[in-house]
Structure 1
């Protein structure tokens, strides 16, 4: 019995090993390792892996040039030799064991018969679940900067900044906040806080890539004699560029502003508002550079303007932690004459993003 048992074991091992090394198994292994092939209208051929595709651009990791973003209109042929999920601009989603297409239209069999598509009809490749209408996509960042000095003068400075967003295919919600709490010799020298909430509704059809939204802002700054300021606004936004090298968002709108300052009557006024956000990875080394600007122009008094500009350079450390350098410029023409209208701050802090 022992001999038969050993024979069975060795026979089974030999059978499995033989099948693993058989020509068909080896061919399957080689097929699995076959790279995705993209031919461009310039005649170039790229071999590598598709990280994903959306908004008419393919994120492709080439073996020769690394990660590149390719506008889909530059592609004349693509071959993906493995299972792939493709979402088209009309909302149709298909999963195929492999995919190959060129300039000529290709057919997709549907419950209503064959439908013709072309490469420019592709909206996303291997989209995340939320892009298929399942669940909500969330992102966020938190940044802290703390400085403590002791000696003849004791100083404590805490600066914080956070933002988070949640979105699905139809809507997006954002919240962001920032503040400063500084003291010297146990006397408070800075105490300011701002929080903003936004909701966006994505537009479709020829307005795709645009959105309409509403926001609410509340802020206070004790040492610029601002007891409180609130802003209620409506805006139209458009993401003009979406490449990792250059992303550009512009949101012009209208707002209603209420202010309560020390030694002044409460004031309310209509205003023009705008928000600009630029993101780029052009500096390389895994860094992310973000420039944001928020502006409020008083329509009752054109000499009254609020302008906040923030430049942040994030350098990756470990896991999701970053080393952040921020340059902040805050201009408020309505502050008392004894206070500078422009406030500049440079900070180095630790950030965490998800």
Structure 2
């Protein structure tokens, strides 16, 4: 039996094999999503999500872009996604589509205003599945040896567990300083809060807080009470929430007379990424007003700028003003703390 080489057949086989990756690449190209803006601009990329009225698109030429939904004339996506509508309706396994500035649904077949889309590809907690855990922990440590031995430690913790219906928050911060073996600062404050969300963006909650400051003659101040809150703005460019409540307060002092009273309390949280680069400009304020002695007010205000490093780490410059109009004799009403912190976020 005689065998012959068949060069033509071999070449054909090799050509077919070479086309396999080309066909795969063509398939990937065909899967590219297309967005046409109201000014006629055309963007090709991969839609990865949408929230707060902005669509996120991953592109080869400019990384991830965010586009306001009201600037989109049409959108054609190929990958099935989960859509969470403003009325909390969940639509699964359906490519997102926009035509003539309106959201188009295949099942059920209907057209809706584009602002009806609340979140594209929501996280599990936004679908009622458990809690989302976020947090920040950071430290500021100074150690100096020489003519003067100085040890300074500032610490801070902020963490929250958020679900569709409620939220738990735990905050703590403290300062412990020594100079040549003599303690110069020893204070801490811990607060725990539970929020229950009403009609968006309102909520009510319960607050418990404890505080100690050895060099302010404060052995322990603790308070507890309800409050009403509102999330005024939630976009990353400007986030603002405020809370106002009433609380029962007990204060134990080492030298001054102990006291207990009813108080009004407030809390303001503000943040913004306006400076860009994933930076975070923030302001936090907590106030306590003695309703039995209206000249007695405590206000703690924090102003800071945080910016990301690598692998979830963050650096921050922070100023803390602590004002107490009822401070005991020989103690300043205003205390200022400046710190540079390194922390981790999740």
TM-score (norm 1): 0.85
Question: Is the contact made by 1:229 and 1:258 (CA closer than 8 Å) also made in structure 2?
Answer: yes
Match of 2:330 in 1: 338
**1:285 maps onto 2:277 in alignment:** yes
Match of 2:117 in 1: 122
CA distance in structure 2 between the aligned counterparts of 1:249 and 1:298, rounded to whole angstroms: 23
- SS of the aligned residue for 1:192 comes to strand
Shift of 1:139: 0.6
TM-score (norm 2): 0.87
For each residue in 1:228-260, what CA deviation from the matched residue of structure 2 results, as whole angstroms up to 9, or x when unmatched? 011112112122112222111111222221111
Match of 2:29 in 1: 30
Q: Structure 1 residues 234-243 or 343-352, which shifts more?
A: 234-243
- SS of the aligned residue for 1:165 comes to strand
**1:58 maps onto 2:55 in alignment:** yes
- Matched residue count: 339
Question: Is the contact made by 2:286 and 2:301 (CA closer than 8 Å) also made in structure 1?
Answer: yes
CA distance in structure 1 between the aligned counterparts of 2:136 and 2:207, rounded to whole angstroms: 19
**1:89 maps onto 2:86 in alignment:** yes
Match of 1:243 in 2: 235
Question: Is the contact made by 2:297 and 2:324 (CA closer than 8 Å) also made in structure 1?
Answer: yes
**1:170 maps onto 2:165 in alignment:** yes
**1:144 maps onto 2:145 in alignment:** no
**1:220 maps onto 2:221 in alignment:** no
Counterparts of 1:2-41 in structure 2, within 5 Å, are 15-22=16-23, 25=24, 27-32=26-31, 34-40=32-38
- Structure-2 change in CA distance of 1:161 and 1:270 (3 Å): same
Shift of 1:45: 5.5
Q: Structure 1 residues 333-342 or 276-285, which shifts more?
A: 276-285
**1:349 maps onto 2:341 in alignment:** yes
Counterparts of 1:168-207 in structure 2, within 5 Å, are 168-203=163-198, 207=199
CA distance in structure 2 between the aligned counterparts of 1:256 and 1:69, rounded to whole angstroms: 46
CA distance in structure 1 between the aligned counterparts of 2:285 and 2:73, rounded to whole angstroms: 40
Unaligned residue ranges in structure 2 (runs of 5+): none
Unaligned residue ranges in structure 1 (runs of 5+): none
- Structure-2 change in CA distance of 1:269 and 1:59 (3 Å): farther
- Structure-2 change in CA distance of 1:281 and 1:182 (3 Å): same
CA distance in structure 2 between the aligned counterparts of 1:60 and 1:306, rounded to whole angstroms: 47
CA distance in structure 2 between the aligned counterparts of 1:318 and 1:105, rounded to whole angstroms: 38
Match of 2:76 in 1: 79
- SS of the aligned residue for 2:321 comes to strand
- SS of the aligned residue for 2:107 comes to strand
Q: CA RMSD in A?
A: 2.9
